[in-house]
Structure 1
Amino acid sequence: MNQLQSEDRAPAFSAVDQNGDTVSLKDFKGRKCFVFFYPKANTSG
């Protein structure tokens, strides 16, 4: 898989939010959205 670069369009995805609800990128269509991943959250690394 190629790494995303700044200004790249995000691929379609779904994830669980802090409330346990599943959200998808398509839920934010037409709105600006910022997604932040914690790459080492809940890991020993």
Structure 2
Amino acid sequence: MKPLQLSPETAVKLAKKLNVPLEQLMHMPQHILIQKLMELEKENK
């Protein structure tokens, strides 16, 4: 599985929002990352 295709700035912002270390974020499967982002969206509404 290849690493996520994110710019460094985006990766840092996502890691902060999701409260996960940057290294863990980069190795996270894409479907899990999308799921976490959707959870964040629900919380923000």
* Fold match (TM-score > 0.5): no
More relative contact order in 1 or in 2 (CA 8 Å, sep 6+)?
2
TM-score, with length taken from structure 2:
0.29
Higher helix share: 2
TM-score, with length taken from structure 1:
0.29
Higher strand share: 1
